[in-house]
Structure 1
Amino acid sequence: MLVVGHIGKAHGIRGEVLVTVRTDEPERRFVPGAVFTTTSGTLTLEALRWHQGRIIAQFSGVPDRNAAEELRGTELQVDSSSLVAPTDPDEFHDHQLVGLRVVSLDGEELGSVARIDHAPSSDLLVLDKSGGGTALIPFVAAMVPTVDLAGGRVIVDLPPGLLDL
């Protein structure tokens, strides 16, 4: 499953919610009638409009503010098998990266990718370190020069001390 959106606070009194988009193709994912999987079932998008870079959405079966507030924090997911692979060789879906081994330029095993955090300035690889604990690696070309999907690894070039933070 691929997370494409995150429901925030209720908007107004008619059951609308703010949705933060987590996909590069919101115009394909967020259309009336789209069905999203959540941890508690499915949600069908009835209507939407854009407001300051986020979607104000109305879902079926959410008639008022109280019902909308219950959705706060819900992740909207789609089946990744239904997605078209990215055409840009430097673009990846989160599910393609999760689980890959993380290796330094000299071949040292550092751990594996636990998840991707989408921060405002850049995406972050969340590393489950081999020795225990986690670390955040900015997913930028300077620090992640190679993603080898076929080899099941991500090669990183990290500044000294980054994994100690």
Structure 2
Amino acid sequence: MSDQVVLARIGKPHGLRGEVTVRLHTDDPERRFADGTVLATEADPGTGVPRALTIRSTRVHQGVWLLAFEEIPDRTGAEGLRGTRLVIDAAELGAASDDDPDTFAEDDLVGLAVVDPAGESLGEVVGLVLGAAQDRLVVRLADGRQGQVPFVAALVPEVDIGGGRLVLDAPAGLFDLEA
């Protein structure tokens, strides 16, 4: 199986004609989402999401990217796409994403060791939650609990993909909300 890179994650429907909002994970949306482009999808099993979607139209509305697909004619179909990832083979992506040192693919982050500024192990990155204001890393702590951390430079000052770790400078009590 080839490595897949997430280009976007589908959010909520917009309007009645099958448009959806998307959270971009590409720095070249005009090229990646050109009309007629066929993109592979990743969705939860049993959701009925097609394995590939064909871009019907793309536009930006009040700063939000909206996509419509040939296979999705209406709002009901668009609602079923929520959470679906639009992906591309890593080989097709090229090295464009290497230009920005502050851009990370979710697949690159998952599995990284999480350490504090002194180098002490805190846990491991197990996911990324995309948010409207900011993304959050999902961290599995050494004791098995999971917590979410805003993925911002103030809290995550260093991401070392090659070294397999990221530094988390978390305030005291960040993971103690359930205690």
TM-score by length of 1: 0.83
1:125 Cα shift?
A: 1.2
Please say if residues 14 and 21 of structure 2, whose CA atoms lie closer than 8 Å, have aligned partners that are also in contact.
no
1:24 Cα shift?
A: 4.3
Match of 2:81 in 1: 71
- Given residue 77 of structure 1, which amino acid in structure 2 is its aligned partner? V
1:31 Cα shift?
A: 1.2
Partners of 2:88 and 2:117 in 1: CA distance: 35
1:5 Cα shift?
A: 2.8
Q: Are 1:147 and 2:151 matched, yes or no?
A: no
- State the secondary structure of the residue aligned to 1:21: strand
- Between Structure 1 and Structure 2, how many residues are aligned? 163
- State the secondary structure of the residue aligned to 1:163: coil
Partners of 1:48 and 1:92 in 2: CA distance: 24
Match of 2:108 in 1: 96
Identify, as 1 or 2, the structure richer in strand: 1
Matches within 5 A, 1:15-34: 15-25=17-27, 26-34=29-37
Q: Are 1:5 and 2:9 matched, yes or no?
A: yes
Partner of residue 99 from structure 2, selected from 77, 80, 87 = 87
1:150 Cα shift?
A: 1.6
Check 1:75–1:24 CA distance in 2 against 1; reply closer, same or farther (3 A cut).
closer
Please say if residues 143 and 157 of structure 1, whose CA atoms lie closer than 8 Å, have aligned partners that are also in contact.
yes
* Alpha-carbon displacement from aligned partner over 1:84-103 (angstroms, at most 9, x marks no partner): 33312233222211110101
Q: Note the aligned Cα RMSD (angstroms).
A: 2.3
1:146 Cα shift?
A: 1.6
Which runs of 5 or more residues in structure 2 are unaligned?
44-48
Please say if residues 147 and 155 of structure 1, whose CA atoms lie closer than 8 Å, have aligned partners that are also in contact.
yes
1:134 Cα shift?
A: 0.9
1:51 Cα shift?
A: 1.7
- Given residue 124 of structure 1, which amino acid in structure 2 is its aligned partner? R
- State the secondary structure of the residue aligned to 1:143: coil
Matches within 5 A, 1:38-77: 38=41, 39=43, 40=49, 41-77=51-87
Check 1:56–1:141 CA distance in 2 against 1; reply closer, same or farther (3 A cut).
closer
Moved more, 92-101 or 19-28: 19-28
Q: Are 1:124 and 2:127 matched, yes or no?
A: no
- State the secondary structure of the residue aligned to 1:27: helix
Q: Are 1:108 and 2:110 matched, yes or no?
A: no
Partners of 2:77 and 2:154 in 1: CA distance: 45
Partners of 1:34 and 1:58 in 2: CA distance: 11
1:7 Cα shift?
A: 4.3
1:64 Cα shift?
A: 4.1
- Given residue 50 of structure 1, which amino acid in structure 2 is its aligned partner? V
* Alpha-carbon displacement from aligned partner over 1:23-53 (angstroms, at most 9, x marks no partner): 2422232211222222341001022222222
